[in-house]
């Protein structure tokens, strides 16, 4: 299966590269650099590949960044990438330009990773929910009830974890990618066409999650019938009964209109939605030292800014969803404890299926969360 998929992805990437060269980016109204520039960027790209990482470009060189993400216009990832664009283009008077690609423009969610590896794009927001097959260790982000109920604690751990920026980042580097920052998009909610209050209620439910083994395993352990799909298929499958429910942060439940085709919204906080800002390593290391530092500083600034932004998007979504017909269920701490107990086996599954560094990663991050929670109390 994987071999056929690789060929297909390679074919997709070739086609995508042709399209990228031909049309040169932006589908969401941002400034678009005309085709002339994109050729320059591609030339740069070619240079990069054969410079084995020595800083070659003079810091005054124009730099074009094709930055793809997994969400729609105005969603959390889109606001993040456009903030990055705004700061960098302003800081460099447009010498560094950023073309933003929203979900579906360059193929499915899991195509982004391959396009990043081949250099068809320079940057992406690439969620671990779609990369678990290529880097099993990323599935640490799929372990339910591992992160804290205190979002400040999660922000701190995602920003500085030795597990994430040590052994896990090494796994990205092995794939030719540089992960800059892991960050969060909010607590996960369930939507479903029936109330979910205990693991018993999950029995046989076709629950959609991102197509990574450990997310599927989590629903299997809750007794559900897990369905891994691309994000573009969720709405129609909910509407047609192909799936009974799904998990996502609230802003996405709202912007994707899932609340229109579901009867129940369950505030489960069984997980947080995490993602990572990542670039093609060869391309990044070909930039001047100054530009590398400028981009790192910009990502830190945007990352810090995104924490309040995602909370605001959550609150805006809740205000709108409360006006709709969907019934909102708040799980009690006892009910959440039942789901936590039902999924504790996922931690062992991660150690088994999560790759060679899995045990070190989960033990380290669990301790980091515990220490940060103790410090916060």
Binding site for ligand 6CS (CB under 6 A): 70-71, 109, 127, 185, 210, 231, 248-249, 252, 273
| Least Å from the CB of residue 37 to ligand 6CS | 29
Complex with ligand 6CS: residue 185 or 213, whichever CB lies closer:
185
Burial per residue of 174-207, b for 16 or more beta-carbon CB atoms within 10 angstroms, e otherwise: eeebbbbbbbbbbbbbbbbeeebbbbebbeebbb
| Least Å from the CB of residue 286 to ligand 6CS | 29
CB atoms within 10 A of CB 375: 9
| Least Å from the CB of residue 260 to ligand 6CS | 17
CB atoms within 10 A of CB 86: 14
| Least Å from the CB of residue 103 to ligand 6CS | 6
Judged by phi (left if over 0) then psi (alpha if -120 to 50, else beta), residue 53 lies in left
| Least Å from the CB of residue 125 to ligand 6CS | 8
DSSP state of 247: E
Complex with ligand 6CS: residue 109 or 148, whichever CB lies closer:
109
Gap between the Cα atoms of 250 and 318, Å rounded = 7
Complex with ligand 6CS: residue 63 or 76, whichever CB lies closer:
76
**CA–CA distances in Å: residue 140 to residues 164, 204, 215, 231:** 9, 25, 10, 20
| Least Å from the CB of residue 310 to ligand 6CS | 10
Complex with ligand 6CS: residue 68 or 168, whichever CB lies closer:
68
| Least Å from the CB of residue 98 to ligand 6CS | 19
Complex with ligand 6CS: residue 231 or 277, whichever CB lies closer:
231
Complex with ligand 6CS: residue 127 or 298, whichever CB lies closer:
127
Complex with ligand 6CS: residue 145 or 251, whichever CB lies closer:
251
CA angle 188, 194, 197 (to 5 degrees): 60
Complex with ligand 6CS: residue 48 or 274, whichever CB lies closer:
274
| Least Å from the CB of residue 69 to ligand 6CS | 8
Whether 260 and 201 have beta carbons less than 8 Å apart is answered as no
Return the closest-CA partner of residue 127 out of 107, 148, 142, 145. 142
Gap between the Cα atoms of 186 and 202, Å rounded = 23
Strand, helix or coil at 117? helix
Strand, helix or coil at 180? strand
**Who contacts 188 (Cβ-Cβ below 8 Å, separation ≥6)?**
247, 248, 249, 268, 269, 270, 271, 272, 273
């Amino acid at each position: 299966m994987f071999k056929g998929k690789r060929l297909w992805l390679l074919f997709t990437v070739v086609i995508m590269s042709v399209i990228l060269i031909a049309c040169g980016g932006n589908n969401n109204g941002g400034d678009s650099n005309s085709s002339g520039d994109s050729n320059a960027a591609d030339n740069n790209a070619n240079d990069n590949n054969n410079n084995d990482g020595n800083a070659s470009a003079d810091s005054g060189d124009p730099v074009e960044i094709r930055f793809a993400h997994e969400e729609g216009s105005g969603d959390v990832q889109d606001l993040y990438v456009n903030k990055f664009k705004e700061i960098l283009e302003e800081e460099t008077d447009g010498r560094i330009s950023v073309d933003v690609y929203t979900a579906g423009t360059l193929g499915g969610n899991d195509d982004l990773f391959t396009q990043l590896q081949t250099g068809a794009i320079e940057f992406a927001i690439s969620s671990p929910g779609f990369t678990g097959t290529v880097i099993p260790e990323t599935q640490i982000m799929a372990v339910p009830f591992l992160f804290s109920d205190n979002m400040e604690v999660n922000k701190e751990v995602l920003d500085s974890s030795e597990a994430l920026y040590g052994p896990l980042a090494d796994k990205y580097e092995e794939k030719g990618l540089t992960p800059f920052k892991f960050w969060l998009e909010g607590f996960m909610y369930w939507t479903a066409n029936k109330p979910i209050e205990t693991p018993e209620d999950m029995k046989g439910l076709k629950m959609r999650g991102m197509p990574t083994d450990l997310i599927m395993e989590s629903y299997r352990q809750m007794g559900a019938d897990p369905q891994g799909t691309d994000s573009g298929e969720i709405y129609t499958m909910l509407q047609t009964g192909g799936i009974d429910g799904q998990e996502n942060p609230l802003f996405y439940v709202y912007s994707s209109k899932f609340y229109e085709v579901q009867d129940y919204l369950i505030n489960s906080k069984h997980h947080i939605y995490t993602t990572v800002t990542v670039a093609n390593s060869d391309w990044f290391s070909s930039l001047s030292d100054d530009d590398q530092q400028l981009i790192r500083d910009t990502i830190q600034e945007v990352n810090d800014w995104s924490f309040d932004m995602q909370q605001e998007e959550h609150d805006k979504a809740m205000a709108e969803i409360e006006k709709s017909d969907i019934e909102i269920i708040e799980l009690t701490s006892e009910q959440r404890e039942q789901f936590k107990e039902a999924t504790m086996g996922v931690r062992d599954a991660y150690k088994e299926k999560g790759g060679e560094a899995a045990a070190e990663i989960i033990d380290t991050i669990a301790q980091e969360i515990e220490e940060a929670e103790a410090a916060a109390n």
